[in-house]
Structure 1
Amino acid sequence: MTSHAMISGHRSALRPQLLLSEPQKRILWHLRTAGPTSRVQLAEAMGMNGATMTRVTQQVATLGLVEELAGNANAGRGRPMIPLAICGQGGWSAGATLHPGWLEIVIVDFAGTPLLRDSIPFTETDPKLFARMLDTRLRALVAQHGFMRGKFLGLGVAVAGYALNDDRNRRKMVDWLAPWNDVPLDEILGDALGMPVWVENDGTAAALAEYYQPRILGAYRSVLVFFLGHGVGAGLIAERDLFPGEHRNAGEVGRLFPGHGPRPSGIDLMRTLREAGVDISSLSDIDHLLESHADVIEAWADRVAAQLEQAVLSGIVWLDPGAVVISGALPQPILQGLAARLEAINATRDSSYLAATPQIHASTIGSAAVVIGAALAPIHAITAIRV
């Protein structure tokens, strides 16, 4: 079925359209984390014999999920020394999220590479109207960019709200999205769009996007991500999979910072700048103030690092992640400054601790992390190894 037909057709069961065996998933994950690898090296890493490896790699190649790269032209039977790599053309998926006043969409290929990022004005808060607008926009993007030649794997939607009654599809949302409260979002969105839909908290979506960055994916099995946007959220990747928690609300760190006081968030930075006399109405305006109001921003970053210290430390001691990523809808110099402050605090505290501690990174994708992570949700659901 083409991607165009998937978008315009009747919704099937909300499950991945591509079902893979565990050996197939293991090979795909090895290629994602280690990069291009020959069949011989794959067989050694996977503990498979050569015949099994040849059969399984042929299967994923037939599905268009891996491709051969230029390698040893003199390779013999089975061409064992030609490296295999994830093939971006193996499929594509879309991600969407709603901001106050606008709708954002990203489409990624099977390799996790963003193919386009689109935004349109949108002020409605009814989830059915959101679904109709999203359907209309996706149809236009599919027609414009020719994605019908790939395999459509699903849609991820990132939302600003926590799960109710252990159900990821029913949530308590932020105030301006009250019509989304406690309704079956997968059914509402899936019925209108005619496609499999994954609903994720925006902090969880950001964590997925940050984990799929090459410098992180290839180096760590577990990563803790903090996302500073309009609010403050977090997400956890544990053993290369999303960790949802017992009630599907792992990472609800906003509860540590009540709304009646200063919070480590972009909105709080905007408030701080307004108190300093700046006329600012959007997080995107902060980038232009980095030099002119450096003292205000530096003081705010000092306070926020102190606020985040215990949240970061708690995550480190309980979860033992390989890395911590500071992400969010803030200019990268601010994210880098926060990461450096937290790294220094962590190093000072642990000066006598002899075991390894996680490195603290600043995001390189910033505000795009939420919608990119939403787009990656279907791909991750299809290929992740459950342990």
Structure 2
Amino acid sequence: MTRRNYIIRIMSRPHRPPIPLSEPQRRVLIQLRIEGTAPRTRLAQVLGMNGATVTRLTQSLLALGLIEERESPEAVARGRPLVPLTVSGRGGWAIGATPHPGWLELVLVDFRGRPLVHDTTPFDSPDPRVFARAVEARLQALAAAHGFMRGQFLGMGVAVPGYALSGDRNRRAVVDRVAGWDDVPLAEIIGDVLGMPVWIENDASVAGLAEYYQDGIIGRYRSVLTLFLGHGVGGGLIAERDLFLGEHGNAGEVGRLFPGHGDRPSGIDLLRTLRAEGVEVDSLADIDGLMATHRAIIDRWTDRVIEQLDLAVLSGIVWLDPGAIIVSGALPLPLLRRIADGLNAIGRRRGDKYRATLPPVLASTIGSKAVVIGAAMIPIHSITSHQAVI
């Protein structure tokens, strides 16, 4: 059996983490993601385990290549229990993919969640099988260029602009531009073409996952609400360090608060606003170049969007009690920062004498890439997730 056939064979069961871990192993791994680095003594203390148990667990994770030691002169001088441990990027790699109008986007991340390759290619088909074949062609080229087949492949997450049907997250009600994806078993269709495990999830939900794994977020907050302003508007929820999807897989469908026949806090709405003012603009990628020349129009739109999103923010605070709220999306990062600042200002002015701790509203640092990075994080997150599948 060739190495390629072996890799395909061990990846033939979609939705099952290829590295099965025990609950104690998962606890050690997620704690290292939270802290970045920690010695065995720190892990024992924070996890409530004895030293021998932590030693045994970390040895097994070291053998699997999921964590690694970081030598330091002080740690070596004082003994192995103080050698810092961290999640190893060599523990595996994963792919995220999503279709856009006229192009598809791919990213490959290592086990730490660091993007290794970001790739875009022309693509314009509503058929998921054509999408899968286009992804396969790009992966073959990237594998040849970067040698990724030498590593352990964990699977691919696909971000879909649509909500789950009948409680089955593999079947989606989607937008017209990917009409062939509507109400079909996407994981099976795409996975059969690629010969690998495939996870399907809403684009805003995976954006929330990507935002949560960013430095300064996962180590500080247990629960986070992400508002993603792309072509539409959606939400991603992290509750107690896990992706919260709800009973039917549609938690975070913020767009239902803003019916499509009216003004919406979405990228498509911004394009329509600009076009109504006589501005020639084709896509959200053009907005950055208009920030200076058409600032008055964009400022008026932004002020209205801040007022609209306050309802979603307040609802999220009431129901989730998150540690932070992140404004993400396909808009320019300065525009996301302005929206976040405006929402914070509304919160400060509310004056309702509410004395509990309120979450800060933060702006994304990765913007539109959150979707494809989050899709790639699904196979990795599934290894330490408390959920059986995502």
Question: What TM-score do the two structures reach when normalised by structure 1?
Answer: 0.96
1:115–1:197 distance in 2 versus 1, CA, 3 Å:
same
Question: What TM-score do the two structures reach when normalised by structure 2?
Answer: 0.96
Secondary structure at the residue paired with 1:74?
helix
Name the residue aligned to 2:76.
73
Secondary structure at the residue paired with 1:280?
coil
Does 2:355 align with 1:354?
yes
- Structure 1 distance, partners of 2:6, 2:329, is 32
- Retained in 2: the 8 A contact 1:325–1:363? yes
Runs of 5+ in structure 1 lacking a partner? Answer: none
Q: Which moved more, 1:66-75 or 1:260-269?
A: 66-75
Does 2:291 align with 1:290?
yes
TM superposition shift of 1:6: 6.6
TM superposition shift of 1:149: 2.3
**Pairs within 5 Å for 1:92-103:** 92-103=93-104
Name the residue aligned to 2:149.
148
1:2–1:171 distance in 2 versus 1, CA, 3 Å:
farther
TM superposition shift of 1:350: 4.8
- Retained in 2: the 8 A contact 1:228–1:264? yes
- Retained in 2: the 8 A contact 1:325–1:360? yes
Name the residue aligned to 2:13.
13
Secondary structure at the residue paired with 1:154?
strand
TM superposition shift of 1:7: 6.9
User: CA deviation digits over 1:85-116, x for unaligned, max 9?
Assistant: 01111100000000011010000000010111
Secondary structure at the residue paired with 2:326?
strand
Amino acid at match of 1:330: L
Amino acid at match of 1:82: V
**Pairs within 5 Å for 1:211-230:** 211-230=212-231
Secondary structure at the residue paired with 2:77?
coil
Name the residue aligned to 1:243.
244
- Structure 1 distance, partners of 2:247, 2:46, is 33
- Structure 1 distance, partners of 2:142, 2:359, is 40
Amino acid at match of 2:273: T
- Structure 1 distance, partners of 2:122, 2:154, is 26
- Structure 2 distance, partners of 1:228, 1:209, is 15
- Retained in 2: the 8 A contact 1:8–1:193? no
User: CA deviation digits over 1:279-336, x for unaligned, max 9?
Assistant: 1101111101111111111111000011111111011111100000000000011000
- Structure 2 distance, partners of 1:297, 1:66, is 46
- Structure 1 distance, partners of 2:184, 2:311, is 34
Amino acid at match of 1:12: S
Secondary structure at the residue paired with 1:155?
strand
- Retained in 1: the 8 A contact 2:11–2:18? no
Name the residue aligned to 1:83.
84
Name the residue aligned to 1:126.
127
TM superposition shift of 1:385: 3.5
- Retained in 2: the 8 A contact 1:157–1:199? yes
Secondary structure at the residue paired with 2:82?
coil
Amino acid at match of 2:301: W
- Retained in 2: the 8 A contact 1:170–1:184? yes
TM superposition shift of 1:2: 9.2
Report sequence identity in percent. 61
